[in-house]
Amino acid sequence: MITLRAPAKVNLALEVLGQREDGYHELRSVVQTITLVDFLSFAPSAELRFFCDVPALVTPRNLVVRAAELLRQRAGVRQGAIIRLRKRIPPAAGLGGGSSDAAATLVGLARLWGLDDRPEALAPLAAELGADVSFFLWGGTAQVAGRGEQVLPLPAAPPLWFVLIAGSAPVADKTRRVFAALQPEEWSSGERVARLVAALAVGTFDPAACFNALTAPALRVFPSLASTLVQVQAVGATPLVAGAGPSVFAVSREGQEARRWQQALRQRGLPARVVRVLSSAR
Ligand code: C5P
């Protein structure tokens, strides 16, 4: 049996350059895996079977099932597998949980079935499954471009702590709706991401460089997000929306500061937790 962890991510910076002819948006982002992880196991079997400790996630549309079927079909594999998912990352949170599970499925099944499990070999399949899936084949710290499927691994970020308030979107196709709510005035040149990439390349990092162009559209789709952002600000931290939301986080270079924010937010009734950077996906 093969066991893999599938980490969540946060976008340390995310810029949208514009809309593309294929309807997607052209992105530049710095993405980081964090110590909030799902667990997947893969055991040999004649049939493909999928189990999850969250029964509502056991559907044929689950990205784990779609990843398994896509790999089996493209590689001409006749065997199946028993796949078990222990879910710890809240779904539809903006933390990439489903995409990470899909990437881990490609890697786990490639190993189980004796196929090439290198990120470069699996990246084309990952890109078909979703814009975010390719990043999780590498994990760690990376710059992403295009729809999100072009991944350039970066040197590991310095130690960082995140206070995280995870939320789950109550709506289907949340990511599509948030991108649709983005206004052309909110597009930018990619310069902020380029500056953050240059800083990380020489081992420096300033939390003030973090930025998410999806903040304003996420607020239009989830108006209740505003009160969470205000509460995070009130405890002295700079709030950031995670991906397309609705999770919110703040970055610190010191664990003690992140713990202080966590305590203050818990006193205000928010389910804050502290996580750290995870320097590689597995
Ligand atoms: O690729 P994925 O299924 O994760 O994307 C969900 C939706 O988010 C897309 O259908 C598209 O509407 C939007 N999106 C976008 N630009 C991106 C990534 C996603 O417009 N770069």
Mean pLDDT by 10 residues, the chain (282 residues): 98 98 97 98 98 95 97 97 97 96 98 98 98 97 97 95 93 92 98 97 92 98 96 98 97 97 98 94 64
Residue 282 is assigned to a structural domain of this protein: no
Which of 14, 20, 24, 95, when mutated, tests ligand 1's pocket best, judged by the most ligand atoms within 8 Å of its CB? 24
Q: E strands within 46-148?
A: 48-52, 80-86, 141-146
CATH code at 172? 3.30.70.890
Do 148 and 198 lie in one domain? The reply is: no
Sort 186 into a burial class: Cβ within 10 Å, 0-12 / 13-18 / 19+: middle
CATH code at 44? 3.30.230.10
Do 170 and 149 lie in one domain? The reply is: no
How many folded domains does the chain comprise? 2
Do 115 and 168 lie in one domain? The reply is: no
Q: What is the predicted pLDDT for the residue at 172?
A: 79
Do 144 and 16 lie in one domain? The reply is: yes
Q: What is the predicted pLDDT for the residue at 281?
A: 62
Cβ of residue 176 lying under 6 Å from some atom of ligand 1: yes
Residue 28 is assigned to a structural domain of this protein: yes
Which of these three, 125, 153, 181, is where a domain ends? 153
**Atom number in ligand 1 closest to CA 133:** 4
Residue 9 annotated among the catalytic residues of the structure: yes
> What b/e readout covers 237-271, taking b as 16+ CB neighbours within 10 angstroms?
bebbbbbbbbbbbbbbeeeebbebbbebbeeeebe
Q: Which of 87, 101, 132, 174 is the catalytic position?
A: 132
Do 9 and 130 lie in one domain? The reply is: yes
Which amino acid appears at position 1 of this protein? M
Domain boundaries, position 177: 161-276
Do 139 and 241 lie in one domain? The reply is: no
Do 42 and 177 lie in one domain? The reply is: no
Cβ of residue 38 lying under 6 Å from some atom of ligand 1: no
Q: Whose CA is nearest to atom 15 of ligand 1?
A: 24
Do 44 and 171 lie in one domain? The reply is: no
Cβ of residue 25 lying under 6 Å from some atom of ligand 1: yes
179 CA to centre of ligand 1 in angstroms:
7
Do 19 and 61 lie in one domain? The reply is: yes
Pairing of strands 48-52, 150-153: unpaired
Q: What is the predicted pLDDT for the residue at 282?
A: 66
Which of these three, 153, 173, 194, is where a domain ends? 153
Q: Whose CA is nearest to atom 10 of ligand 1?
A: 176
Do 19 and 133 lie in one domain? The reply is: yes
**Atom number in ligand 1 closest to CA 25:** 16
Cβ of residue 97 lying under 6 Å from some atom of ligand 1: no
pLDDT digits (tens, 9 = 90+) for 233-271: 999 999 999 999 999 999 999 999 999 999 999 999 999
Residue 132 annotated among the catalytic residues of the structure: yes
Q: What is the predicted pLDDT for the residue at 45?
A: 98
Cβ of residue 148 lying under 6 Å from some atom of ligand 1: yes
177 CA to centre of ligand 1 in angstroms:
9
Residue with tokens 């990470």: 100
Q: Whose CA is nearest to atom 7 of ligand 1?
A: 176
Residue 281 is assigned to a structural domain of this protein: no
Rounded distance between C-alpha atoms, residue 247 and residue 240, angstroms: 9
Do 132 and 174 lie in one domain? The reply is: no
Cβ of residue 126 lying under 6 Å from some atom of ligand 1: no
